[in-house]
Structure 1
Amino acid sequence: MSTPTTTTRPGAESAPGYRPGRTLPLRVEALRQWKRRRTLVMGGILIALPFVLVIAFAIGGEDGDRNGRITLMDTATASGANFAATCLFVSAGFLLVIPVALFCGDTVASEASWSSLRYLLAAPVPRSRLLASKLTVALGYSAAAMVLLPLVALAVGTVAYGWGPLQLPTGGSVPAGDALFRVAVAVAFVFASQLVTAGLAFWLSTRTDAPLGAVGGAVGLTIVGNVLDAVTALGDWREYLPAHWQFAWIDALQPQLEWGGMVKGTAISLTYAVVLFALAFRGFARKDIVS
């Protein structure tokens, strides 16, 4: 099957008014992704989680003693800020991986599975432009998912438990105004730590015509990273695993905000992500598009 030509060289003949940089605008791609059912379902799940946790705390009452240790779960009902931090804690390890893998892994592979990818390229949308638009929108929706959960949790927690300082598990508290900054730092780091999953999902999305394969592959490899981080025999090698730093944002909830772990985790995650995004663009530029 012949493949549509998608490369436009400077000076080459083209239709009057055609500008490669104006094809597939971000607003068009964002609107297309917004109308997808999986976007609405994922948003609904993230909005529902804080309500589910409020009901769970109301039914379960106070947690039992953990050998005298106070954890973030024990302070969940202290204030709206504490509840938002708790929601982030229970979801950062797995739940927030799903929207990132979904938005980044489904974006190109779904077009191929619908046999619409070749028609987009025949529009003609340059391949690099198509990937850049889809990646930008996918990361935008991923970031929105990261912000949506703690934002809803903060509102729900404030209504349920009141507005007040952030009670720290280690003792002491942080004023409410500063607590918002601490939670924002934690959310930003969680997003940065998920860039590896985004890179895996996006690279796989350019290599397969099966969206489920790209999404599932990214989630599966993320889980493998978590398993390897649990192998203490690896010693210092674990520090090169993005999973090793995924909960470094807890340092934002200390009496004195600590940046060291979050900076290292962000650097590791960003390095892997850049390599994976580069592989996606390089491979897609040479790929024979037949679907």
Structure 2
Amino acid sequence: MSTLTEVASGYRTRGTLPPRVELVRQLGRRRTLVMGGLLAVLPFVLVIAFAVGHPSGRDGQVTLMDTATASGANFAAVNLFVSAGFLLVVPVALFCGDTVAAEADWSSLRYLLAAPVPRARLLWSKLVVALGMSLAAMVLLPAVALAVGTAAYGWGPLRIPTGGELDPGTAVQRLVVAVAYIFVSQLVTAGLAFWLSTKTDAPLGAVGGAVGLTIVGNVLDAVTALGHWRDFLPAHWQFAWADALQPHAEWSGMIQGAALSVTCALVLFALAFRGFARKDIVS
């Protein structure tokens, strides 16, 4: 016996909660403005720190930090180096982990679904916006750092600590590659935060859980006794982007890291969609 589902005239699934509407909603939130402000302020803080201090290599070795004041490109690379391990994890976990759980916490999730917005459509719009805002956060930091560094230290080649340099045009291209890789490498955190966001009504639990497990991954990667098992940890490849800032870029590490990150992220995103489709929404 077939069943018929009545649909209101003019109703279109694709017309419900379009990403642009979700984007406007998320951009207006205080946590978005605060996070954007923190990322934009960091380069100014580092300029002051380098003006007050005097970096010097250890045991005669020159590190990336020692070349921070060589040019705007070097300063942007240093900003990525000091923030990629943790600071850039926070906006990804925040934007992806807060998005669904916050609606449940505000008791507005069930009203969105009653609009009616299909569950898959709701998740898709929120995921696209969350990833877009995460990417914007990662672009904002080096973009501001490049501008601030150029104003403070001049426009010039990127000096490589191990020797040699990249001309300004090539340096900017390599920095773009580095930012793109950092974004891809953080898809694991995004997937974990998004999945947790569909499992809990507490935004802090989803965000904190994603950040906490990311930290655990970093700790495990530091355990050298694990040997080659560390190759299966996304954290093991988080700084592979530094291979792009060499006279002859090495891509093998970034390829392995990106493949592992994308694979884990797809599994987590699939779990989020599958679990949310069957979840009993009471908030």
TM-score under structure 1 length normalisation:
0.96
Query: 1:3 maps to which residue?
Result: none
Cα distance in 1 for partners of 2:12, 2:151 equals: 51
What is the RMSD of the two structures over their aligned residues, measured on CA atoms?
Answer: 1.1
Query: 2:203 maps to which residue?
Result: 211
Cα distance in 2 for partners of 1:50, 1:112 equals: 36
How far has the Cα of 1:65 moved from its partner?
A: 3.4
Identical positions, percent: 77
Query: 1:14 maps to which residue?
Result: 7
Query: 1:6 maps to which residue?
Result: none
Give the secondary structure class of the aligned counterpart of 2:282.
Answer: coil
Deviations along 1:180-221, one digit per CA (max 9) or x if unpaired, are 001001000000110000000000000000000000000000
Paired residues of 2:57 and 2:66 also in contact (CA < 8 A): no
1:51 alignment partner, one of 44, 50, 69: 44
Give the secondary structure class of the aligned counterpart of 2:59.
Answer: coil
Cα distance in 1 for partners of 2:37, 2:257 equals: 29
How far has the Cα of 1:25 moved from its partner?
A: 0.7
How far has the Cα of 1:11 moved from its partner?
A: 6.4
Q: Which runs of 5+ in 2 are unaligned?
A: none
Is structure 2 residue 231 aligned with structure 1 residue 239?
Answer: yes
1:65 alignment partner, one of 50, 57, 60: 57
Residues 67, 23 of structure 1: alpha-carbon distance in 2 compared, 3 angstrom cutoff: same
Paired residues of 2:26 and 2:32 also in contact (CA < 8 A): yes
1:144 alignment partner, one of 136, 140, 145: 136
Is structure 2 residue 65 aligned with structure 1 residue 79?
Answer: no
Is structure 2 residue 154 aligned with structure 1 residue 162?
Answer: yes
Cα distance in 2 for partners of 1:150, 1:194 equals: 16
| Structural mapping, 1:1-291, within 5 Å | 12-60=5-53, 62-291=54-283
Cα distance in 1 for partners of 2:142, 2:129 equals: 21
Cα distance in 2 for partners of 1:225, 1:232 equals: 13
Cα distance in 2 for partners of 1:287, 1:107 equals: 16
Q: What amino acid is the match of 2:161?
A: P
Cα distance in 1 for partners of 2:28, 2:249 equals: 40
Give the secondary structure class of the aligned counterpart of 2:201.
Answer: coil
Cα distance in 1 for partners of 2:216, 2:92 equals: 17
Displacement over 6 Å in runs of 4+? none
Deviations along 1:100-141, one digit per CA (max 9) or x if unpaired, are 000000000000000000000000000000000000000000
Q: Which runs of 5+ in 1 are unaligned?
A: 1-9
Cα distance in 1 for partners of 2:140, 2:90 equals: 14
Give the secondary structure class of the aligned counterpart of 2:58.
Answer: coil
How far has the Cα of 1:254 moved from its partner?
A: 1.2
Deviations along 1:134-189, one digit per CA (max 9) or x if unpaired, are 00000000000000000000000000000000000111110000000010010000
Cα distance in 1 for partners of 2:93, 2:185 equals: 13
Cα distance in 1 for partners of 2:151, 2:4 equals: 61
Give the secondary structure class of the aligned counterpart of 2:258.
Answer: helix
Q: What amino acid is the match of 1:59?
A: V
Cα distance in 1 for partners of 2:5, 2:66 equals: 66
Q: What amino acid is the match of 2:44?
A: F
Give the secondary structure class of the aligned counterpart of 1:67.
Answer: helix
Q: What amino acid is the match of 1:257?
A: A
State the number of aligned residues.
Answer: 282
Cα distance in 1 for partners of 2:230, 2:58 equals: 28
